[in-house]
Amino acid sequence: MFGKEVRGQEKAIYAITCLIKREVLPTLIFYGPEGVGKRRAAYILARTINCSDGGENSCSSCRQMEKGIHPDLVVLESNNGSIKVDSIREVIKSAYLKPFYKKKVYIIDDASLLTPEASSCLLKTLEEPPLYCVFILITNSIPAIFSTIRSRCLPIRFRRQTEEIQREILLDLGVDRKDIDDLIKFSGGSLSRAMEYKGLNLSLKESQIEKWFASFKTKNAIDIAEDILFAEKSFPQFLDFAIFYLEKELPLHLERIEAILEAKEYLLLNANRRLTLENMCFKLQEVCNDRDSWFSLS
């Protein structure tokens, strides 16, 4: 059923395969690092429980699923960094209408972005969902989900895939063999990010990172943090590149890599972005002041 579509997640897939045989499914939380197949697994679950041709993928439900127009599949995503109560109200309204095929599947990605109001609104439905409904919450930060919601869900853990499996998947996705090692490092093991970075000009990124580090000599930490917040639409990606850049000379830059990794962890737990980046820049600057030639990286 899952075949080659989700690899390196044997335990999670085994658990899901057992659950699918049940008449009524519990509410599920798929959790684990970013980009390791959680959303893909949720989608395949939705496809499988609505299929009527024994997994041949040729029935009308499977075809609609593949085209992204399935009437019983709803994917709820964040809008401006959060999932608000209005979206949950819409979901609840539709959950009480019978499915077109067999089961209605609601995928909430990322569930840690539910606002407190949205969480308590969802909670009422999760207490007694219609039998034909399956809710799948996806997150890379399970502690960030309300404990009252967590207590009503069955958690399924997804792990980071080994580099060997990542390599196999990227090759299958058409990535050039010579780019694979760099992409795996850049993306910190997240395959979805590796695919995002596939088309980027890596040497251009490198010169941006060099300039950024050079700015520590002339600017203060708060201004530098501000620069990343506003100049880089996707600063988690910027941080990945910074780490990759520093890792080239690992023993020299260990403290700086640690400061950036720590910031990344806090950001994953939805810490305040500005404070986290400012704190990171202060640490980076301290290291800079400790040594004369810290920021001449060539």
Kindly state the smallest distance separating residue 101's Cβ from Zn ion, in Å.
10
CB of 44 to Zn ion, least distance (A): 11
CB 155 within 8 A of CB 125: no
Tokens of 106: 């609601």
Q: What region does 169 belong to: left with phi over 0, alpha with psi -120 to 50, or beta?
A: alpha
Rank residues 65 and 180 by Cβ distance to Zn ion and give the closer one.
Answer: 65
Q: Which is nearer to Zn ion, 51 or 145 (CB)?
A: 51
CB 87 within 8 A of CB 79: yes
Cβ distance to Zn ion smaller for residue 40 or 198: 40
Distance CA 23, CA 12 (A): 19
Q: What is the rounded CA–CA span in Å between residue 29 and residue 140?
A: 10
Residues that bind Zn ion (CB under 5 A): 51, 53, 59, 62
Provide the pairing of β-strand 73-77 with 153-157.
unpaired
Whose Cβ is closer to Zn ion: residue 42's or residue 228's?
A: 42
Q: How far is the CB of 278 from Zn ion (least distance, A)?
A: 51
H/E stretch holding 191 reads helix 191-197
Cβ 219 to Zn ion shortest distance, Å: 58
d(CA 183, CA 232): 20
Nearest approach, Cβ of residue 62 and Zn ion (Å): 3
State in angstroms the smallest separation of the CB of 53 from Zn ion.
4
Q: Nearer Cβ to Zn ion, position 57 or 94? A: 57
Closer to Zn ion at the Cβ: 103 or 193? 103
In sequence order, the 6+-apart residues with CB closer than 8 A to the CB of 118 are 82, 83, 84, 85, 87, 88
